[in-house]
Amino acid sequence: MIVQEFRGALRRLLKRPGYALLSVTVLGVGLGVTLFLFSLVNTLILKPLPFPDAERLMAVGERSSSGHGIDSLDSAQYELLRRSLQAADAVGAYTAGGVSLDDGQGAVYFPGSRSSASLLEMLGVRPLLGRLFTAADEQPGAEHVLLIGEPLWRTTFAADPQVVGRQIRVDGEWATVVGVLPASFSFPQYTRVWRPLRLLPGQHRDLAGVLRLAPGKTLGQARAELDAIQPALQRVLPTDMHMRAVVTKPLGYSFVPEDMRYWVWLMFGAGTLVLLLACVNVANLQLVQAVRRAHELALRHALGSARGRLVFGAMAEGWLLGMAGWLLALPIVQWGNRWLVAVYFRPGRMPGFHHFGLDGWVLAAGALMAIATTTLVGAVPAWRAARCDPQQALRDGAKGSGSGFARVARVMVVAEIVLTVVLLVGAGMFVGAVQRLLARPTPGIGYAAQVLTAELALPRRSYDDARRIAVIGEAVARLRATPGVVDATASDTVPGGRLGSHERVGLPGQPRPASGWTEVQLGVVDPHFLSTFGVRLLAGRFFDARDTAGGQAVAVVDRHLVQALWPGQDPLQRQLTLHPGTAWARSLTVIGVTEPLQMDGLLERSVPGLLMPVSQAAGQAPLHAVGLAVRTHGAAAAFIPNLTGIVHGVDSQVAVHDVLSQQWIMARSQAGLTVMANVFGVLGLVALGLAATGLYGVVAFSVEQRTREIGIRRAIGGGGWAIARLLGRQLAWQLGLGLVLGILLALPWSRLLADPNLQTRAHDPTVFGSVIVLVVATALAATLLPLRRALQVDPAVALRYE
């Protein structure tokens, strides 16, 4: 019987290709967007990290300034935790940072990490070749060793099985390869080269901490123990260092913080609303078909078919549609994941263990969603089949009776409008945020398409600051002399990129304010920085040959820092203190003022900018990581092949990486907003399209069912406006009720989506007003064609219709 019913359902669908195609498309789109968003939830939140006992692995560090994340841990605190934390059976640490490998053909940059031996043991990695680090490798003065990842082994070393024991120049120093780690292992994300973490006695370094809970211990017990030793964790720090509380969270929060999880869940919730809207739409379509098949079902029942078989036949039709919709959804998910990776990740920087795509869990979830939704959808015609009265259906004839349909359809139309309003409000909020972002005044750093930036990795130990400055200066000079180049600059910061540091400043003699020292974005730059990036100097002068290493220590500040330190005053020739309250505090004289720099990116909070000359940076800034910027006459991307060659012509031991246009960096800085704006925008448009389809179908079928009534009204003199009012009255109250309920639900929804960082605003009257106008216009447009058909009904034909 089961096979028979499925065959019968397939034959019925093939006889009605328009209905089948529309149903499959609606279900496929609804399932596709929802499954794409579920794949994000699965990849970023649900899927455990690929390490043994991953549920016991915890990140440990100081609570971030936002209160939601975890920052670094001082190396002295790390040593204390290793000795005293009883709730953990292992504590490890790492630092992330790139390395330059020189195989004789020129230095090449690779993402790298310094990792403790205990960390690699905790993560359960097994080398393909060689060994892991040991405690002896971490001792100061031990031989320089490293581990390489399988992709690097295969590409750079041609999968040489004798690579273990080979000497490689790393950051200008020789090191021995002691092992190859499998491609499946990448911790921290993107890492291709690992070196042992070595800590000198009395040294203070920022580390990322990881602990493994001891068997039988819980996260709550670890937190309680950390609370008890907070005073000890403060005492091991220098007296001028003030810590926030040391906390611990599951390790996954280091890679997907709480705010990102919040937005991923919200997007999935919005996708579920789209799937629900698709279900309502297809249920309406199936109910129409059930009404049309009422005569057939009644005849089959009268001939002896059991009600259960009629119900199963209706459900089988829905399941076939669901499976077809699931197949259509899969390429939508694949396309969505490719789009996400292209928008959100840097070129060549695919996530290490977060693989975006279809896997068994996503496929299974999609099949489950398809079965669940089509079971829900199929329940409507099944309910109709179960309630079928054979005598009544046979009297109504082949057209069937629409009285029951009308009541259900009206409820479904209201539900579609409600869901559409809620989704459109979310889309409108993000559209408004993008508009406000585009309308903001352009910061001093213009993020122009003509500016190309790159990061340089210079040898750390074999080069002193003087040699680094000489190499950087020669590279900039050659770049400036290259045809097509307008200007070039070097600095320790790449605006919108990863380089650069946040420091603290104060006024000379000023006690530490209760709110803390003023935070600044510090940049160590050369005299061509402003002209290369197109930043305007508002007062004073910029750096030049007068600013020598032995001369007066000078600085250029932006307007935001002037407002913070000297509101309403002339800042020129005034003094400020960099690193106040510390042993390395330094007094600087302000010689110039620029427009606001906004060097952290357009969407980041605005931090005042402070610039120092590179000529005075020896011993003050980590010049082993430097940014280059080139302004060209045309599009900067065309200059990318030249830049690496010019730098290697100066010094082949300098690795060049992350060569990107400032326009791309600007787009990347807005990637989070771009992803959410596009997701919510697509969800809103899909909802609007589904609502329009549903309204059209309901009104068209209503016209079909009331053809005789319309014909009679026309025959007794009813005009076009009377017919329009007859059909429009029902639509008007459904539309009005749907808008009211939709707005009421959208109010709390907008509060969930409001975020000052993304500039999304709750209860925005412009958004709500625009949504109302858009929904009303769509509803009117969707009913025009059925209304036109109603007005063209010939009374004589309508009276013969029965």
Q: Please report whether residue 277 resides in a domain.
A: no
350: pLDDT strictly greater than 60: no
Comparing 58 with 367, which gets the higher pLDDT? 58
Please identify, among 612, 634, 656, the residue that sits at the C-terminal boundary of a domain: 634
Strand partners, 29: none
Rounded Cα distance, 198 and 57, in Å = 22
Comparing 474 with 436, which gets the higher pLDDT? 474
| DSSP class of 288 | H
Q: Please report whether residue 191 resides in a domain.
A: yes
Mean pLDDT of 564-593: 89
> Which of the listed ranges 437-446, 565-574, 609-618, 703-712 does the model predict with the highest average pLDDT?
565-574
Q: What residues contact residue 216 under an 8 Å CB cut-off, 6+ apart?
A: none
Q: Supply the pLDDT for residue 633.
A: 85
Please identify, among 604, 634, 664, the residue that sits at the C-terminal boundary of a domain: 634
Q: Supply the pLDDT for residue 641.
A: 78
pLDDT band at 20 (very low <50, low <70, confident <90, very high): confident
Lowest-confidence range among 231-240, 541-550, 567-576, 743-752? 231-240
Q: What percent of the chain has pLDDT over 90?
A: 22
| Per-residue burial over 665-674, b = 16 or more CB atoms within 10 Å of its CB, e = otherwise | bbbbbbbbbb
Rounded Cα distance, 393 and 397, in Å = 6
pLDDT band at 422 (very low <50, low <70, confident <90, very high): very high
72: pLDDT strictly greater than 50: yes
Q: Please report whether residue 239 resides in a domain.
A: yes
Rounded Cα distance, 88 and 172, in Å = 38
pLDDT band at 737 (very low <50, low <70, confident <90, very high): very high
Rounded Cα distance, 345 and 337, in Å = 12
Lookup: tokens for 114: 């310094």
Q: Supply the pLDDT for residue 605.
A: 61
Mean pLDDT of 571-593: 89
Rounded Cα distance, 171 and 458, in Å = 7
On whether the CB atoms of residues 7 and 317 are closer than 8 A, the answer is: no
Lookup: tokens for 745: 């639900």
- Sort 569 into a burial class: Cβ within 10 Å, 0-12 / 13-18 / 19+: exposed
Measured over all CA atoms, what is the biggest interatomic distance in the chain, rounded to whole angstroms? 106
Please identify, among 584, 615, 634, the residue that sits at the C-terminal boundary of a domain: 634
Strand partners, 575: 589
Q: How big is the chain, counted in residues?
A: 802
Mean pLDDT of 686-704: 79
Mean pLDDT of 83-110: 84
Distance, first Cα to last Cα, the chain: 35
Rounded Cα distance, 696 and 731, in Å = 11
Q: Supply the pLDDT for residue 717.
A: 60
Lowest-confidence range among 120-124, 254-258, 274-278, 344-348? 344-348
Q: Please report whether residue 59 resides in a domain.
A: no
DSSP reduced 3-state for 518: strand
398: pLDDT strictly greater than 50: no
> Which of the listed ranges 487-501, 669-683, 744-758 does the model predict with the highest average pLDDT?
744-758
DSSP reduced 3-state for 530: helix
Lowest-confidence range among 206-210, 238-242, 297-301? 297-301
Lowest-confidence range among 170-184, 258-272, 351-365, 769-783? 351-365
Rounded Cα distance, 269 and 246, in Å = 33
- Sort 741 into a burial class: Cβ within 10 Å, 0-12 / 13-18 / 19+: middle
Lookup: tokens for 233: 């964790």
DSSP reduced 3-state for 693: helix
Q: Please report whether residue 252 resides in a domain.
A: no
Q: Please report whether residue 520 resides in a domain.
A: yes
Q: Supply the pLDDT for residue 309.
A: 60
The CA-based angle 622-625-628, given to 5 degrees, is 125
Rounded Cα distance, 110 and 98, in Å = 6
Domain encompassing residue 561? 451-634
288: pLDDT strictly greater than 80: no
Number of structural domains the chain divides into:
2
Rounded Cα distance, 637 and 664, in Å = 10
Q: Please report whether residue 602 resides in a domain.
A: yes
Work out the mean pLDDT of the chain and round it to a whole number: 81
pLDDT tens-digit readout, 222-256: 999 989 988 888 888 776 667 778 888 998 888 88
| DSSP class of 498 | S
Rounded Cα distance, 42 and 782, in Å = 37
Q: Supply the pLDDT for residue 348.
A: 53
212: pLDDT strictly greater than 90: yes
Q: Please report whether residue 505 resides in a domain.
A: yes
Rounded Cα distance, 705 and 798, in Å = 11
The CA-based angle 586-590-594, given to 5 degrees, is 125
280: pLDDT strictly greater than 50: yes
Comparing 520 with 283, which gets the higher pLDDT? 520
